[in-house]
Chain A
Amino acid sequence: MTAGVAEAEGVAGSVAVVRAARSPRRARFIERTGVRVAVAVIAVIWSLPTAGLLISSFRSNADIRASGWWDALLHPFEAAQWTVSNYVSVMKADNLATSFINSLVVTIPAVVIPITMAAFAAYAFAWMRFPGRRLLFAGLDLNGTFLGVWLAHTGFGLPLAIFLLYNYISQLPGDLFESAQIDGASHFQIFRELVVPLSVPALASFAIFQFLWVWNDLLVALVYLGTNEEVATLPARLNELVGTKGESWHLLTAGAFVTMIVPLAVFLLLQRYFVRGLIAGSVKG
C-alpha cells in the first residue's frame, strides 16, 4: 500500500521532472506566480476584517447602516463621506480617553518591574551554584488599585520572562564570566556590567510580549480593577461598550481602533524583536 503510494508519487514526480525539463523557466514562472497569488489571497482575507473596521470607523452611523463598508471604497475620494466624529465621540462621551491613560498607567510599570526581577533570577539559575537549583526551576515551569494589577501582571509574566531570559543568559559565553571572576569581579558586578548589556535583545523581546499581553488583557483588568470608568483599561471599557451599545457600529469600530492603535504601532516598529522572542521560545535557536 505505502510502497504503491510512493511509487505513484515517484511516477508523478518524474512526469513533473520531464515536463519541467521541456520548458523549465516557464514552469518555474507559473509555479512562482501561483504561489504568489495564493499568498496574496490569504493575506487579503486576513486583512479584510480589520480593513472593514478601520474604514467603518471613519463613516457616519447612517452611512454604515445604509451600505456595506466596501461601497465606500468605490468612491474613496468623496470627502463628504469621511468623518472623525466617531472618534471624538468615543474619546469624550464614552470616556475612552480616560481608559487610554489607565491602560498606559497599568501597562508601563507591569512591563518594567518583572524584567528586573526575571533578569536577576535568570542569571542566578544560569550562572550561580546553589542547592535546590534544579528543583526550583522545575517548579516554576508549571506555570481595586493599580498596585494590585501591576503585581498580578508581574507574577503572571515572570515564568515566561525567566524562561526566555534563562535560555538567553545561559547561552552567553561562560569563559567571559570565568575570566571576570578570576579578576575578582563579584556576581553582582558581572550581572550589572556584562549580563545586562549583553542581554538587551532578549530583554526587548520579553518587554514586547509583556506589553502586548498586559495592554490587551481583559481578565486580569476585570478581576483587579473592574469596570469603574475611573480605573478601567481600554479592553474593559470596550467590552462595556459592546454590552451597552452593541449595535452602534460607528462607535464600536472607532472604539476598537482606539484600543488597537498602540499595540499595532509597537508591534510594527519592533516586529523583529518580537519574532526573535517567539522563535527563541519554540525552536532551538
Chain B
Amino acid sequence: MIGANIVSRSSGDLAGRVVRVVAAVTALVLIWVGLDIIRDPDGPARLFASFYDLIGQTSTADAVRERGLDPVQSKLTVMVIALVIGTGGVWLLYVGLNGAVDLLGTRWGERVRPYVFLGPAVAMLSVFLVGPAVLTIIASATEGEGLVANWSFVLTSPDMWLAFRNNIVWLVLGTGGSVVIGLLVATLVDRVKREALAKTFIFLPLAISMVGASVIWRFVYAWAPEGDQQIGLVNAGWTALGNEPVPWLQVPPLNTLALIVIMIWLQTGFAMVVLSAALKGVPSEVIEAARMDGAGERAVFFRVVVPMIRGTLIAVATTISIAILKVFDIVYVTTGGRFETEVLANRMFSEMFSYRNFGRASAIAVILFIAVVPIMVVNIRNLRRQGVGA
C-alpha cells in the first residue's frame, strides 16, 4: 500500500525523462556557478553586483564592484550558497544521475545505480582520506632529507623516544582512568533514581573543545609565587595543606599527568553514558541468582557484571584509545610540547608547520596510522561479535 502511494507520484513516461535530464543539466550548471562564486574571495561581490544590474540599480552595482561587500555579508552569502549546493545541489545531482541511469534501461540501469548512490561519498573519501594517506606514505620516503634520514630520526631520536614514551603513558593512564572512573560512576548512578542531573554534569565536558578545556585547566593549574594569592584551584588547595605552590604544567613528569587529567575529565562522560546503557541491559535475574548463590557485591560485579558488559568495555576503551593517540590540541595549547610533554601528534604538527619538515611529519603520521590500525581492528571485530556493523 505504501509502495502504491509512492509509485503514483512517479513519472516513467517520456516527459518525465526529459524533465530529469533537464534537472541533471541544471544541477551541474548551478553547482558549477555556485562553486565558482564561493571559490573566489570577490565572488559574492560579483554576484550582488550582477543582481543590482539586473534590477536596474546600476550605480549600486558599480559601488559594490568598487568597494566589495561587508565581510560579514560576504561570508554569510558564501555560507548560504554552500548550503544550497550542499543540500539542494547535491540532492539534484543524485536526482539527475539517477534519471540518467534510468535512460540506460532496466538491465544496465540497475547494475549502475548502486554506484550512483555511492559515488559522491566514495569520491570524497578517496580525495580526503585514501589519497592523503597514500601521499603521506610517499612523502615520508621522498620529502625532506629522504627515506633513511626521515625514518631514522623518527625511530631513533631522543625527542621521538620521549614522544613515544609519553604516548604510551597517555594511552595507559588516560584510557584506564576514563574507563575505570566511567564504570565506577555508571555503577553508582545505576543504583539511585533520578540520576539524570548528576550524569549531565559529568557528561557536559564532552561538548567542550579541547582548546576550551585546555584554557579551563590552565586556570585550574595556575601558579603564583609562594606568599602570593593562589588563584588556581589546585595550588590553592595544595598550599592550604601547608605545601609550596607547584607549577604543575612545568614540572615533569607531573605535567604529563596533569594533561592526562584533562583528557580523563573530557572522556569520562562518554565512558559513563555508554557503560550505563550496557549496565541497564544486564538482566537483574542473573544478578539476583548470583546473590542467592552467596556471591558478595564484589564477586557479583567482577565475575558477573563485568564479563557481561565486556564487549561494551572494549568498544569504549578502543574509542578512547584512538582519541588519545590523536591527542594534539591539549598539548599544543597548554605546553606546546615543552617541559618533556611532547606527544606524537603535536610533534607531527610542529614538524609540519613550525619546522616545515614535511618528510619527518609524514613519517610520524604513518607511525600514528600504524598505531591506530590494530586498535581499529580490535574495535571492528568486537562490534561484529556484538552484531553491530557490517
Chain A positions within 8 Å of B, measured between CB atoms, are 6, 9-10, 12-14, 16, 31-32, 35-36, 38-40, 42-44, 46-50, 52-53, 56, 64-70, 98, 101-102, 104-105, 108-109, 112-114, 116-118, 120-121, 123-125, 128-130, 133-134, 136-143, 145-147, 150-152, 154-156, 158-159, 162-163, 166-167, 176, 179-191, 193-194, 212, 215-219, 222-223, 230, 234-235, 238-239, 242, 246, 249, 252-253, 255-256, 259-260, 263-264, 266-268, 271, 275, 278-285
For residue B193, which residue of chain A has the nearest CB? A32
Residues 329-370 of chain B, each 1 if its beta carbon lies under 8 Å from chain A, else 0: 100110000000000000001000100000000000000000
For residue B291, which residue of chain A has the nearest CB? A13
Chain B positions within 8 Å of A183 at CB level: 3-4, 6-7
Docked pose: A42 CA to B87 CA in angstroms: 43
Question: How close is A196's CB to chain B, nearest CB, in angstroms?
Answer: 10
Interface residues on B, range: 35 or more
Contacting residues of chain B (1-25) with chain A, CB-CB under 8 angstroms: 1-7, 9-10
Q: Are A36 and B192 in contact (CB under 8 A)?
A: yes
Q: Are A121 and B118 in contact (CB under 8 A)?
A: yes
Q: Are B86 and A189 in contact (CB under 8 A)?
A: no
Chain B positions within 8 Å of A242 at CB level: 211, 214-215, 218, 333
B contacts with A: majority SS: helix
Q: Given A50-B216, A166-B390, A179-B3 in contact, is the A219-B328 Cβ separation under 8 Å? A: yes
Q: Given A264-B208, A279-B273 in contact, is the A142-B10 Cβ separation under 8 Å? A: no
Q: Are A154 and B128 in contact (CB under 8 A)?
A: yes
Question: How close is B74's CB to chain A, nearest CB, in angstroms?
Answer: 10
Q: Given A49-B265, A137-B390, A267-B204 in contact, is the A10-B209 Cβ separation under 8 Å? A: no
Question: How close is A281's CB to chain B, nearest CB, in angstroms?
Answer: 8
Docked pose: A162 CA to B129 CA in angstroms: 14
Which of these, B3, B87, B332, contacts A180 with CB under 8 Å? B3
For residue B293, which residue of chain A has the nearest CB? A10
Is the CB of B238 closer than 8 A to any CB of chain A? no
Question: How close is B349's CB to chain A, nearest CB, in angstroms?
Answer: 7
Chain B positions within 8 Å of A, measured between CB atoms, are 1-7, 9-10, 35, 38-39, 41, 71-72, 75-76, 78-79, 82-83, 86-87, 90-91, 94-95, 98, 102, 111, 113-115, 117-118, 120-122, 124-125, 127-130, 133, 181, 185, 188-189, 191-192, 195, 197-198, 200-212, 214-220, 222, 229-231, 233, 236, 265, 268-270, 273-274, 277-278, 281, 291, 294-299, 311-312, 315-316, 319, 328-329, 332-333, 349, 353, 373, 376, 380, 383, 386-390
Docked pose: A81 CA to B1 CA in angstroms: 68
Docked pose: A128 CA to B95 CA in angstroms: 17
Q: Are A212 and B207 in contact (CB under 8 A)?
A: yes
- Please name 20 pairs of A and B residues whose Cβ atoms are closer than 8 Å in the assembled complex, sorted by A: A35-B191, A39-B198, A42-B181, A43-B201, A116-B91, A123-B117, A145-B38, A155-B125, A162-B121, A163-B389, A167-B389, A179-B2, A182-B3, A185-B6, A186-B98, A235-B211, A263-B209, A264-B207, A266-B207, A281-B319
Chain B positions within 8 Å of A105 at CB level: 75-76, 78-79
Which of these, B82, B121, B274, B294, contacts A117 with CB under 8 Å? B121
| Other A-B pairs, 6, CB within 8 Å; known A121-B122, A188-B98, A271-B200 | A49-B233, A68-B231, A141-B380, A183-B4, A235-B212, A266-B207
Which of these, A104, A113, A154, A185, contacts B7 with CB under 8 Å? A185
Q: Are B86 and A109 in contact (CB under 8 A)?
A: yes
**In this complex, which of A13, A49, A162, A189 has the most chain B Cβ atoms within 10 angstroms of its Cβ?**
A49
Docked pose: A156 CA to B111 CA in angstroms: 29
Chain B positions within 8 Å of A43 at CB level: 197-198, 201-202
Question: How close is B373's CB to chain A, nearest CB, in angstroms?
Answer: 7
Which of these, B6, B39, B90, B220, contacts A145 with CB under 8 Å? B39
Chain A positions within 8 Å of B380 at CB level: 141
Q: Which 4 A-B pairs have the closest CB atoms?
A: A155-B128, A183-B3, A180-B3, A216-B209
Docked pose: A48 CA to B236 CA in angstroms: 13
Docked pose: A155 CA to B208 CA in angstroms: 23
Q: Are B216 and A216 in contact (CB under 8 A)?
A: no
**In this complex, which of A16, A145, A151, A218 has the most chain B Cβ atoms within 10 angstroms of its Cβ?**
A218
Q: Are A275 and B273 in contact (CB under 8 A)?
A: yes
Which of these, B102, B274, B296, contacts A12 with CB under 8 Å? B296
Question: How close is B222's CB to chain A, nearest CB, in angstroms?
Answer: 7
Q: Are A283 and B315 in contact (CB under 8 A)?
A: yes
Chain A positions within 8 Å of B270 at CB level: 278
Docked pose: A98 CA to B76 CA in angstroms: 12
Chain B positions within 8 Å of A215 at CB level: 209
Docked pose: A242 CA to B295 CA in angstroms: 54
For residue A130, which residue of chain B has the nearest CB? B114
Question: How close is A224's CB to chain B, nearest CB, in angstroms?
Answer: 11
Chain B positions within 8 Å of A53 at CB level: 215-216, 219
Docked pose: A142 CA to B379 CA in angstroms: 11
Which of these, A13, A154, A187, contacts B117 with CB under 8 Å? A187
Docked pose: A52 CA to B217 CA in angstroms: 10
Q: Are A150 and B231 in contact (CB under 8 A)?
A: no
Q: Are B128 and A151 in contact (CB under 8 A)?
A: yes
Docked pose: A66 CA to B231 CA in angstroms: 8
Which of these, A49, A130, A193, A275, contacts B115 with CB under 8 Å? A130
Docked pose: A123 CA to B376 CA in angstroms: 24
**In this complex, which of B71, B118, B191, B220 has the most chain A Cβ atoms within 10 angstroms of its Cβ?**
B118
